[in-house]
Amino acid sequence: MGWAANLGNKNNKVEVENKNMTSQSGRHFLQIPGPTNVPDRVLRAMAKPTIDHRGPEFAKLTYEILEGLKRVLRTSGTVIIYPSSGTGAWEAALVNTLSPGDKVLMFETGYFATLWRNMAVKLGLDVDFIPGDWRHGVDPAVIEEKLSEDRNHKIKSVTVVHNETSTGVTSRVAEVRKAIDHAHHPALLMVDTISSLASIDFKHDEWGVDVTIGCSQKGLMLPPGLGLNAISDKALETSKSSRFSKSYWDWEAMIKDNQSGFFPYTPSTNLLYGLRESLHMLFEEGLENVFARHHRLGEATRRAVRAWGLEILCLNPEEYSNSLTAALMPNGYNADDLRELILKKMNMSLGTSLGKLKGKIFRIGHLGDFNELMLAGTLSGIEMGLALAKVPFSKGGVAEALDYLSARQLTTYPGS
């Protein structure tokens, strides 16, 4: 037994589990909606010697990845990368553009929108949090109404989570922009694309987004550890009058050093190697093909869920997420028990239920480095799990998904 076996809790739970554990052959299926499966190409790219982050080779890497990220974010503006999780990139967006006491409009689309709101409150912002049922995206009409009423322009920012990872519901960012424009309001638009970037179409410049927040461990197919901000000229200008104290998250220092290819502190060198490789992979496939693949796999999943007789949490088909699908359990059945059984028996991780959905839903991640056969395996594991857990359901979800997929052109691979 390894040294780690004794590191369990007071009941020595780890030790007991290790004794009973039999080796599981084959690959683990990581079907949570992020972190996602890291492709071998990216893993190999990261397995290189770390270089001097103040040397000329590093500067070339910085320029290349910043240009690549601009292509993914569809922006010609400023992009910066923090050695951080997505939460750090959220904080950077708020503290660089706003000042203590500023009013911000936020929407309760789910667990992550609520966490972002909690952060804003802790920072001392005055948050107008529009309640939601966790089954719909942001309503652009409410934004227009709220902003039209705000004649003195007290609201400084509208913040939206593009893809709510806790629910599998997207918000229509282009329509949110139109609502802000209709109200002739100067508020900044900030969008969290943490689980949509490089999976669901997003256009920072065309949609008039002022700050886009992203991170590495979802559509970019990397391990966790990089946080991103894309910044419009308007947001950059606004940042000059921001009165929040900041140091690590300060855009100014980052932008200044990035100009010569460097960072104000030690960057995550090997994750950046991985990012360069994942950007190459995305461009080789073509972004449009990447989005089409996510749509096809998302639609096949939704057909499977419906065929099982389970309800999709997202109520508006226009707001379906192509990154993940959340399925509701029948009354009296706990989603976390099903997930636990699927993990034990099938070696597959599905996304847990979060916040007020605890126990009620399971989430199927279908984003990142993912294809038809991986989806077929994922759905088969769920169908077997539902049967083993004696959840009332109809067989045939997998068959429904396969029929849909085989009637369509398979994933476009480079050179095909």
Ligand X SMILES: Cc1ncc(COP(=O)(O)O)c(C=O)c1O
- Which residues are at the interface with ligand X (CB under 6 A)? 34, 85-87, 112, 161, 165, 192, 194-195, 215, 224
Which of residues 272 and 307 has its CB atom nearest to ligand X in the complex? 272
**What count of Cα atoms within 13 Å lies in the side-chain half-sphere of residue 311?**
12
CB of 300 to ligand X, least distance (A): 22
| Euclidean distance between CA atoms 393 and 29, whole angstroms | 23
DSSP state at residue 244: -
Residue 216 or 258 having the CB closest to ligand X = 216
CB of 57 closer than 8 Å to CB of 377:
no
* Min separation Cβ 84 and ligand X, Å: 8
Smallest distance from ligand X to CB 165, Å:
3
| Of 112 and 263, CB closest to ligand X | 112
C-beta closer to ligand X: residue 169 or 307: 169
Q: Do 94 and 211 touch, CB atoms closer than 8 A?
A: no
* Cα-based angle 323, 111, 207 (whole degrees, multiple of 5): 55
**Choice between 73 and 402, CB closer to ligand X:** 73
For 328, the enclosing helix (H) or strand (E) is strand 324-328
Could you give the 3-state DSSP secondary structure of residue 181? helix
Residue 135 carries which side chain, given as an amino acid letter? R
Q: Which is nearer to ligand X, 183 or 228 (CB)?
A: 228
Closest distance of CB 396 from ligand X, Å? 31
Least distance in angstroms from the C-beta of 202 to ligand X: 13
Using alpha carbons, select from 249, 215, 243, 248 the residue that is nearest to residue 112: 215
Residues 92, 83 contacting (CB under 8 angstroms): no
Whichever of 155 and 194 has its CB closer to ligand X, that residue is 194
Residue nearest to ligand X (CB): 86
Instruction: Please tell me the distance from the alpha carbon of residue 413 to that of residue 185, in angstroms, as a whole number.
Output: 44
Which whole-number Å values give the CA distances from 49 to 52, 117, 153, in the listed order? 10, 40, 52
Distance in Å, CB of 144 to ligand X, minimum: 24
Nearer to ligand X, 86 or 219 (CB): 86
Tokens, residue 88 = 């750090």
Tell me the C-alpha distance between 140 and 224, whole Å: 32
Least separation in angstroms between residue 94's CB and ligand X is 13
Residue 122: CB minimum distance to ligand X, A: 15
Residue 192 or 250: the one with the smaller Cβ distance to ligand X is 192
Q: How far is the CB of 204 from ligand X (least distance, A)?
A: 16
CA dist 391 and 341 (Å) reads: 12
Of 360, 355, 366, 358, whose CA–CA distance to 109 is shortest?
355
Decide whether 77 or 365 has the Cβ nearer to ligand X.
365
Give, for 312, the enclosing helix (H) or strand (E): strand 311-312
Residue 38: φ, ψ to 5° = -95, 120
Q: Which positions ≥6 away from 58 have C-beta within 8 Å?
A: 51, 52, 261, 262, 269
Q: How far is the CB of 205 from ligand X (least distance, A)?
A: 21
